[in-house]
Structure 1
Amino acid sequence: MDIAEKDEMLFLLEKLVNIDSGSYHKDGVDRVGRLLMKAFNEIGFKVAVFKQERYGDHLLFTHAHAFAPKILLLAHLDTVFSPGTAVDRPFQLIGNRAYGPGVVDMKGSLVTSLFAVKALVDAQSPAGKNVAILMTSDEEIGAPTGRALIEQQGLDKKAVLVMEPARQDGSLVTSRRGGGRYTLKITGKAAHSGVEPEKGRSAIKELAHKVIELHCLSNIRQGISVNVGIIEGGTAVNTVADFAEAKVDVRISKQEQAEPLDRKIRRICATPAVRGTAIQLDGGITRPPMERNSQTVSLFQLIQTVANTIGLKLTDTTTGGSSDASFTSALGIPTMDGLGPVGGYPHSDKEYLEVDTLQERALLLAKVIERLSEERSST
C-alpha cells in the first residue's frame, strides 16, 4: 500500500494551517471544512453536513458505496487560536519540522486521515468502505454541540480511532483525564475605601475565600485537580469591589470522582463567607475521563502489532489533557487516541509537527483500518 508523496501532504497542510479556525470563528472552521469536503469528494467519499449556527459545521465522511462502517475516525476542525494568528505566524518549514497555528493539533491529523483513506481507495481495499470519518468543530471548547453527534456515531462501531497528535516520543494515548469548567460570579456593594469602607461588601474578599477553598479540593495522588486560572474584579484601587469573577478548571482521573467533586464545589459556593455578598455558579464537569481498560489495552496491542509490520515500535502513555476520545470510551466503545502525526507544544507559538511522521502515521492508520476490517469479516 502506497501513501502519497510527502510534498502532496505538505501542500494541503500549508493550506489548512494558513486558515484561522479558532472554535468561535465559524467562517474559518467552515473554510477548512470545505477544503476537506473537496478532497474527500475527489476520492469517492460523500459528506453529511451537520449545520451549526454559532460554531462551524460538523462533517461526516463515508465512501459513496459504504454500508454500515464499523470503524470511526474522530477528528476536529477547530483550533485554539484567534483570528489573525495565521497571518502573523503562517505555515513554515524549518528542517524536518513544520510550524504554524494548529499544525499538529490537529491539522496534520486532518491530512493523515485523508491520505490514509486515499491509500485504501487507491489499493482498492474493501476497508475503505468500512470507515467513517467524523470531523467536529468545537473540540477545543468541550464539544458543546459535537458531543451528542460523537456519541451517536460511535454507538455501533467496533473501534474509534481518535486523531489527536501522538506524543512527542511517538506514543499513543490510552488514558486521559476528564474534567470541566466553572464560572464563579460574585456581587457585593461598592464603597469608597477611604471615606466609608464599612459600607462596602467586597466581592474580591469573598472571591479570595472561595479560591483558597476550591484549590484545597485538589488531590494530586488521586488525580484530582481544581485550578482557578482566571480572576477579574473591581473598578478602582480605592473602591470596595462590587463584582468579581473566577474561571475554574477541574480535572478528574476516574468517572466516580465527578459527582462527589461537583457536590463539594457547589457546597463551597453555596454560602458566602463575606456577609452581604451573593454568589452565582455556572458550569460543571462535562468530559468523562478516558480510563485505561481491557478494551483499550486490546486495541492498543492490535495497533502495536500492526506497527511492528512496518518497522514502527509503539508505546502508550497517559495524559492530563482531555479530548473527545473520552465520550466514546465512557460508552464502552474500544477507543484509541493519539493516532495523528508526531509533534509538540500544541496551543502555543512553538507548536510543531515532525514532517516525516505524516507518511509514517498515515500508513499506520491505513493498515490498522485494514486489520480491524479483516477481523470484522472473519467474525
Structure 2
Amino acid sequence: MDVHSQEKEMLILLEKLVNIDSGSSHKAGVDQVAQELIPLFEQLGFHVTTISQETVGDHLRIIHPTQRQASILIVAHMDTVFEPGTANERPFTIKGTRAYGPGVIDMKASLVSVIYALRYLKENGSDAYQHVELVLNSDEEIGSSTSRQLIEEAAKGKAYALVMEPARRDGSVVTERRGNGRFTIEVHGKAAHSGIEPEKGRSAIEELAHKIVKLHELNDHEHGISVNVGIIEGGNAVNTVSATAIGHIDVRVATEEQAEEMEHKIETMCASSDVSGTEIELTGDISRPPMVKNEKIARLFQVVKKVGAELGIELKDTKTGGGSDASFTAAMGIPTIDGLGPVGGNAHSEKEYLDIPSLTERTLLLAKVIEKLVEDRKTKRS
C-alpha cells in the first residue's frame, strides 16, 4: 500500500467526518463520529470498547487482541468546539491545496491519519500496528474531565504516548505545553435600589471587580504564568445594587510548582471579601498539568526527527500554551510527543484549514514512527 495513492479516499472519509457536527456538548454528533470510526478499526482486527457517557459523547478504547500490553498509546479526540448546525452552514470544502470545515484540522484529519497509518502497516506486512492501543475521547475541548481517568489507565505500562493534535503551521511537533485550569468565582451580595437606598446594598459586582484586578496582577508572562478573567456575569438592572456576580477564569502555568502556587494564591485571595457583606464561592482547579520537555521526551523527539529525515521531512519541535491530553501522559513520566497530526491552522475559527499534502505525509510519518519504536523495543529485548 502506498499512502500517497490513498489521498482521494482519505479526503472522502475526512469530508464525511467534518460534515458531522460533533461539538463537545453535542453527544449525538460525537457518537455518530464514533460509529463511523468503529467499523474501520474493526476491519483492521482491533477490538473496540465503548465507554458510555451520559452528557458527552462515548469514549472509545481500542486494542488489538494479540496484545496483552501494547507498548504505544495513541490519543485523539472526536469532539470539536463548534455548535450544532455549523457543518450545514459551512460544510467541508476544498480550495486549491487546502481543505476547510469545522474541526478539519482539530482534529478530524488526525482521525483519518491514524486509521490509514495503521492500515499502511498492516497491508505492508508489519505487525507494528498490533502493538498500539488507542483512546479516542469526546471531551478534550472542554478539559477531558470524563476521559482523563481512562487515558491515564490506558497509559499505564506504555513505553510511549503519541498524541494526535495537529502539527503547528510550520510543521513542528509539540514537546512542551503549559498546564491549564479553569476557576469560577461566584459572589453573593445584597440587592438594593441604587437611587432610593443604595447604602443597604452590598454589591457583588464591586467585589468581583476587586478580585479581577488582583487576579490579573498574578500574571507573570516571562515565567509562563497567565491569568485571564474571560467571562463575567452579574446584576439584573442598572438601578439595582447587584446581588450576584460571576467571573470565569483561565489559568496557564509552565511548571507543577507554579500550578500549586497559583491554586494556593487564588484560594487565599477568595477566602475573604474586599466589600463587607459579600460572600465568595470558588470552584475549579488546574485540571491539566504542564507537559515539560524532559530527557525522555527529548530522546523520543530525536527518534521522530530521524524518521522524518528519512522521509525527507525536516522536523522541528516547539512549545505551546494550549492544553492537550499529552499533559496527562507526560505527567505520568511516559515519553510523549504531541502535534503528530497533519499540518493546518486557524483551529477553532471559521477559517480553520488543513494543508492537504500534509495529510498523507504525516500519515506516513506516523506509520514509520510506530514501526521504528516497535522495532527498537524488539531489538532491546533480544
> After superposition, where does 1:127-138 map in structure 2 within 5 Å?
127-138=128-139
In structure 1, what is the equivalent of residue 283 of structure 2? 282
Indicate yes or no: 2:341 matched with 1:352: no
* Aligned equivalents of 2:129, 2:286: Cα separation in 1: 37
In structure 2, what is the equivalent of residue 118 of structure 1? 119
Deviation of 1:283 (Å): 0.6
8 Å contact kept, 1:290–1:325: yes
* Aligned equivalents of 1:312, 1:260: Cα separation in 2: 41
Indicate yes or no: 2:96 matched with 1:104: no
> Which letter does structure 2 place at the counterpart of 1:61?
I
**CA distances 1:168-209 after superposition (whole Å, capped 9, x unpaired):** 000000100001000110111111111111111111101100
* Aligned equivalents of 1:259, 1:68: Cα separation in 2: 34
8 Å contact kept, 1:67–1:130: no
Secondary structure at the counterpart of residue 65 of structure 1: coil
**CA distances 1:277-326 after superposition (whole Å, capped 9, x unpaired):** 11110111111000011111100000000011111110010000010000
Deviation of 1:241 (Å): 0.8
Deviation of 1:50 (Å): 1.2
* Aligned equivalents of 2:251, 2:270: Cα separation in 1: 15
> Which letter does structure 2 place at the counterpart of 1:159?
Y
> Which letter does structure 2 place at the counterpart of 1:212?
V
> After superposition, where does 1:65-80 map in structure 2 within 5 Å?
65-80=66-81
* Aligned equivalents of 1:81, 1:183: Cα separation in 2: 23
Indicate yes or no: 2:222 matched with 1:221: yes
Indicate yes or no: 2:213 matched with 1:212: yes
* Aligned equivalents of 1:161, 1:133: Cα separation in 2: 10
8 Å contact kept, 1:136–1:146: yes
The size of the alignment, in residue pairs, is 379
In structure 2, what is the equivalent of residue 300 of structure 1? 301
8 Å contact kept, 1:113–1:362: yes
In structure 1, what is the equivalent of residue 154 of structure 2? 153
* Aligned equivalents of 1:60, 1:362: Cα separation in 2: 21
* Aligned equivalents of 1:49, 1:348: Cα separation in 2: 30
Deviation of 1:211 (Å): 0.2
Secondary structure at the counterpart of residue 366 of structure 2: helix
Deviation of 1:67 (Å): 3.7
In structure 1, what is the equivalent of residue 194 of structure 2? 193
In structure 2, what is the equivalent of residue 52 of structure 1? 53
Deviation of 1:88 (Å): 1.1
* Aligned equivalents of 1:259, 1:73: Cα separation in 2: 29
Secondary structure at the counterpart of residue 9 of structure 2: helix
8 Å contact kept, 1:191–1:197: yes
Deviation of 1:145 (Å): 1.1
Secondary structure at the counterpart of residue 38 of structure 1: helix
In structure 2, what is the equivalent of residue 330 of structure 1? 331
Secondary structure at the counterpart of residue 328 of structure 1: helix
Deviation of 1:54 (Å): 1.5
Secondary structure at the counterpart of residue 174 of structure 2: strand
* Aligned equivalents of 2:10, 2:63: Cα separation in 1: 21
Deviation of 1:2 (Å): 2.1
* Aligned equivalents of 1:281, 1:350: Cα separation in 2: 36
* Aligned equivalents of 2:317, 2:20: Cα separation in 1: 32
Secondary structure at the counterpart of residue 124 of structure 1: coil
**CA distances 1:319-371 after superposition (whole Å, capped 9, x unpaired):** 00010000010010000000000000111111111011110000000000000
> Which sits farther off after the overlay, 299-308 or 34-43?
34-43
* Aligned equivalents of 2:310, 2:130: Cα separation in 1: 23
Deviation of 1:166 (Å): 0.0
> Which letter does structure 2 place at the counterpart of 1:296?
I
> Which letter does structure 1 place at the counterpart of 2:162?
L
In structure 2, what is the equivalent of residue 87 of structure 1? 88
Deviation of 1:65 (Å): 3.0
Deviation of 1:258 (Å): 1.1
**CA distances 1:99-143 after superposition (whole Å, capped 9, x unpaired):** 111100000000000000010111121101111121011111111
In structure 2, what is the equivalent of residue 2 of structure 1? 2
* Aligned equivalents of 2:41, 2:75: Cα separation in 1: 15
> Which letter does structure 2 place at the counterpart of 1:43?
L
> Which letter does structure 1 place at the counterpart of 2:272?
T
* Aligned equivalents of 2:106, 2:234: Cα separation in 1: 33
* Aligned equivalents of 2:256, 2:319: Cα separation in 1: 16
Q: What 5-or-longer segments of structure 2 have no aligned partner? A: none
* Aligned equivalents of 2:124, 2:6: Cα separation in 1: 15
Deviation of 1:43 (Å): 2.3
> Which letter does structure 1 place at the counterpart of 2:132?
V
> Which letter does structure 2 place at the counterpart of 1:32?
V
> Which letter does structure 1 place at the counterpart of 2:53?
Q
Give the TM-score normalised by structure 1: 0.98
Q: What 5-or-longer segments of structure 1 have no aligned partner? A: none
Secondary structure at the counterpart of residue 356 of structure 1: helix
* Aligned equivalents of 2:226, 2:251: Cα separation in 1: 6
> Which sits farther off after the overlay, 82-91 or 64-73?
64-73
**Identity percentage over the alignment?**
56
8 Å contact kept, 1:203–1:241: yes
Secondary structure at the counterpart of residue 282 of structure 1: strand
Deviation of 1:64 (Å): 4.0
